[in-house]
Structure 1
């Protein structure tokens, strides 16, 4: 599959603005391992090969185990995730699949029970940001570097 365009060079200001969202999340108290899981799960749902590759590699570099990385796609059935991670993954799925699932009071409450308000705000921004990046990646067919 051929990349359609280099949007970063054509829309530099938009990329900078989106990078600002990422900086907000990185500077928040939301734990980085959770940000990595959120980024990976949303990217899996959205089918963004570039972002799946990038965020699984980032998580691996940060010390994430292969078992947990492979289990993100089936997190509900996996014993590898904490309650806080499960709440973040449930919220990520609901907020990513807005057309099929709503962010119910149960899902919101589950996240609010394990994150303080500042962390919950960062989670909302993290999910919104990765979904925007996924849409850029999918629309332009952003391609990861070959690992062959």
Structure 2
């Protein structure tokens, strides 16, 4: 499968805004582990092989355990995730599948139990951004396996 358009090389100005969003999220109070889990989980749901490869590498580089990465797609059935992480993962699934799911008042209240307003906004923008990146990488057929992490453990 050949990449259709190398948007990072040919159209850096078009993705500049998305990169700025990522920078702002990384500078926020959002826990880096949750940030990587959210990006990986949304990528699993969307079937984005490139982003799954990228975010599993970044999560490992940031100290995430293999056990939790392997269990992420079945997070509800495992004891490996905290209530805070479970809430973030549930919110990720809801926003990623927003056409099928509702962001109910009850689920938003649950979110606010574990995250302050700044974190809720950073988490929401992280989910919005990864869904955008997934759609870009899938439509342009970015080849998985080519990403090299620059994160430090």
Aligned-residue Cα RMSD (Å) equals: 1.3
Query: Which position in structure 1 is the counterpart of 2:96?
Result: 96
Query: Displacement of 1:138 after TM fit?
Result: 0.6
Task: Verify: 1:37 aligned to 2:12, yes or no.
Answer: no
Paired with 1:145 and 1:41, the residues of 2 have a C-alpha distance of 18
Corresponding residue pairs, total: 147
TM-score between both structures, scaled by the size of structure 1: 0.95
Q: Tell me the alpha carbon deviations over residues 87-131 of structure 1, each in whole angstroms, 9 at most, x when there is no partner.
A: 100000000001111112222111111001101110011000111
Task: Name structure 2 gaps, 5 residues minimum.
Answer: 148-153
TM-score, with length taken from structure 2: 0.92
Gaps of 5+ in 1: none
Q: Distance in 2 between matches of 1:124 and 1:63?
A: 23
Residue 9 of structure 2 aligns with which residue? 9
Where does residue 124 of structure 1 map in the other structure?
124
